[in-house]
Amino acid sequence: MTLYALCFALFLVGLYGLLTKRDLIKIILSSGIMGYACNLMLVLFGYRRGGVYPILERGREAGPMVDPLPQALVLTSIVIELGVTALLAALAIRLFQKYRTYDITKIRRLSG
Amino acid sequence: MILPYFIVIPLLAAFLIPLVSRRRDTGAVVLSLAAVSSLLVLAGLAFSGLGGETLVYRMSAWKLPIGIPLVLDALSALMLIMVGLIALTSLVFSVRYIRRLGRDWRYYALFMILVTGMNGVIITGDLFNLFVFMEIALFAALALVAFGGRAHEFEASFKYAVMASISSSLILLGIAVVYGATSMLGLATIAQSLADKSPLLVLWTGGLFMAGFGVKTAAMPFHAWLPDAHSSAPSPISAMLSGVLIKTLGIYVLIRLFYNVLGAPPLFLDIFLGLGAVSILLGNLLAIGQWDLKRLLAYSSIGQVGYILLGMGLGTPLGMAGAVFHMINHAVFKSLLFYNAGALETALGTRDLRQMGNVTRLLPITSGTSMIASLSISGIPPFNGFFSKLMIIIAAVQAGQSVLALVAVVGSLVSMAAYLKVQRYGLRGGRPVEKLVGEVDVAMKAAMVILAVLCLATSLLVVPAVREATLDPVVKVIMDKTQYALTVLGK
């Protein structure tokens, strides 16, 4: 239970950073932290105490193995997150070229 | 089986476009037009051939609780037609418009990826697969919003990307909770195993999905990104985003998850009603205050989505029919209005209503079609918007929600005021325009005329005989709720 609570706390850390930070780079890092928390949660749901690696060989039972599906899901979601982070970083670079600043409060050509 | 082709065709086109394109964009235009029109034909055939049945395709022939199914029922077929139609007109409109920004095949490749993502979301029967397709559509949308390469476009795209990444994280968390509780990812199997789990679990997953997909829908408290993103994108892309993207990633997924998977829990229907009422009032009210034509249209999208949410929240067959009907209508007239804005921007070089003058004589087709679209969106008979709003209002009264019916009527009047402003100050304004800076070509006119005709034609859906063939099968799929699971699993 502690692990789940800590994981959720990590998610909230990311959300807090995303909502309050003013620096574009810190916003990108916060969005990464949020993603990690989700991935960790998925892996935790698939874990079982004292489990073994999920490869079925001759003479081994499927019973004590950890659930391999969340691990596959997490791999996919890590790749998606890589894409999101790369896109955000590219946009941040272009924004810096246009405005000469990373401060989100100074990048305000659009209103609300 | 035609199901995989809805994903294969646009994805293949997106892959081939960079290969065939050299300096000119002819190859890219022909290829993407061919792909999208074949998608529209396939979707039409699928809808008419379906006859209330459900088609299930098992990917790689894996059996159902394990493999990923593709599911085609009346609701998804209707959504596919909508996506195909708006994508086709949007491409026709794009050819000249995008050449102004540079002869670029990358636009068409990204466009096809956007269509792939949306079709994937519509047709998949697996929760994680839906998440992946949603991200594909969002990537393409983000890149297309920033396509013009100006400072405020990057700003809008960054804002959109941050909001999208928050909502995607919430959705992924929701998927993790669902998987932790049921060890299932298929929508049908989740629906079956959630039925005998505790209500607390439904509350958790429902809350996470509501927050996550609420951002994609841009209902009122979650709307902050929409006016920037939809007004900064190139006009044909604004039409795609406002017309179909917020509906496939938002409304369609909400209907599927809350009706077909969770079985329409009353608490969440009340939340739909609340979101809908707030969006109708504030979205339309904020639209009046805008002088930038595309920002006005974007705020008005929030208000119109409110009507759809209101119809969904009533939970009666008539309300749901109204919601589905309004969803189609909004796709048609809001896309048309965005094409008008694009044509005006091309011809006059401005989007500011104060800078436009009396253009009814110079641009007869643009101003005529925009008149039709404005009448439709503000709910004047005999155009389609009147009938769908009327259905939602009647359904609200029948369900005993007369306050919400009043809200819908007031919102309709307020939106009429916003579009009177467009017509009076913009197209029929006092400031005469001497010469045009650009030309509205035949393709742009064709796209606008097609949608203007559809504004009238779709009002035929209210005729009982037509309604039985089109809206009723869709409403039946939705109102059968978790019957969906049994149909997909083949019991």
Taking only the tens place, the pLDDT of each residue in B267-290 is: 999 999 999 999 999 999 999 999
pLDDT band at B475 (very low <50, low <70, confident <90, very high): very high
Asked if the Cβ–Cβ distance from A87 to B227 is below 8 Å, we say no
Query: In chain B, pLDDT over 70 holds for what percent of residues?
Result: 100
pLDDT, residue B103, reads 63
Cβ of A80 within 8 Å of Cβ of B135? The answer is yes
Band (pLDDT 50/70/90 cuts) for residue B491 is low
Is B173 close to A110, i.e. CB distance below 8 A? no
State the nearest Cα–Cα gap between B225 and chain A, in angstroms: 8
Res B161: pLDDT: 94
In chain A, where the domains are located: 2-52+64-99
Residue B244: how many other CB atoms lie within 10 Å: 29
| Mean pLDDT confidence for A54-66 | 80
Domain boundaries, chain B: 5-489
Per-residue pLDDT, B490: 81
Residue of A70, A91, A110 with shortest CB distance to B179: A70
Q: What is the pLDDT of residue B80?
A: 95
CA distance B154 to chain A (A): 6
| Residue B244 clears pLDDT 50, i.e. is over it | yes
Nearest residue of chain B to residue A8 (CA atoms): B173
Q: Identify the CA nearest to B228 among candidates B304, B145, B337.
A: B145
pLDDT at B352 over 90: no
pLDDT in tens, B190-217: 998 888 888 899 999 999 999 999 999 9
B165 touches chain A (CB under 8 A): yes
| Residue B58, beta-bridge partner list | B69
Contact of B132 with chain A, judged by CB distance below 8 Å, is answered with: yes
Alpha helices in B258-363 (DSSP H): 266-288, 293-314, 317-348
Residue that has been written with the tokens 């297309």 in this structure: B144
Return the SS3 of B72.
strand
Contact A38 B183 (CB under 8 A): no
Q: Is the pLDDT of residue B482 over 90?
A: no
> pLDDT grade, residue B253 (50/70/90)?
very high
pLDDT at B182: 87
Mean pLDDT of chain B: 91
**Average pLDDT rounded to a whole number, residues B57-73:** 88
ipTM score: 0.94
Which sign, positive or negative, has the C-alpha torsion A26, A28, A31, A37? Answer: negative
Least CB-CB distance to B169: which of A34, A67, A112? A34
Residue B27 has pLDDT above 50, yes or no: yes
The tens digit of pLDDT for each residue in B292-340 reads 999 999 999 999 999 999 999 999 999 999 999 999 999 999 999 999 9
**In this structure, is the dihedral angle defined by the CA atoms of residues B247, B250, B253 and B254, taken in order, positive or negative?**
negative
pTM (two decimals):
0.95
Which chain A residue lies closest to B168 (C-alpha atoms)? A35
- Banded pLDDT at A112 (limits 50, 70, 90): very low
The alpha carbon of residue A59 is apart from the nearest alpha carbon of chain B, in Å, by 24
SS (H, E, C) A20-79: HCCEHHHHHHHHHHHHHHHHHHHHHHHCCCCCECCCCCCCCCCCCECCCHHHHHHHHHHH
Peptide bond into B382 cis (omega under 30): yes
What is the dotted CATH code of the domain comprising A2-52+64-99? 1.10.287.3510
Determine the pLDDT at residue A15: 92
Which of B159-163, B390-394, B431-435 has the lowest average pLDDT?
Answer: B431-435
**Greatest distance between any 2 Cα atoms in chain A:** 66
Q: How far apart are CA B12 and CA B22, in angstroms?
A: 18
A72-107: per-residue pLDDT in tens? 999 999 999 999 999 999 999 999 998 888 888 888
pLDDT: is B49 or B453 the higher one? Answer: B453
The DSSP bridge partners found for residue B292 are B352
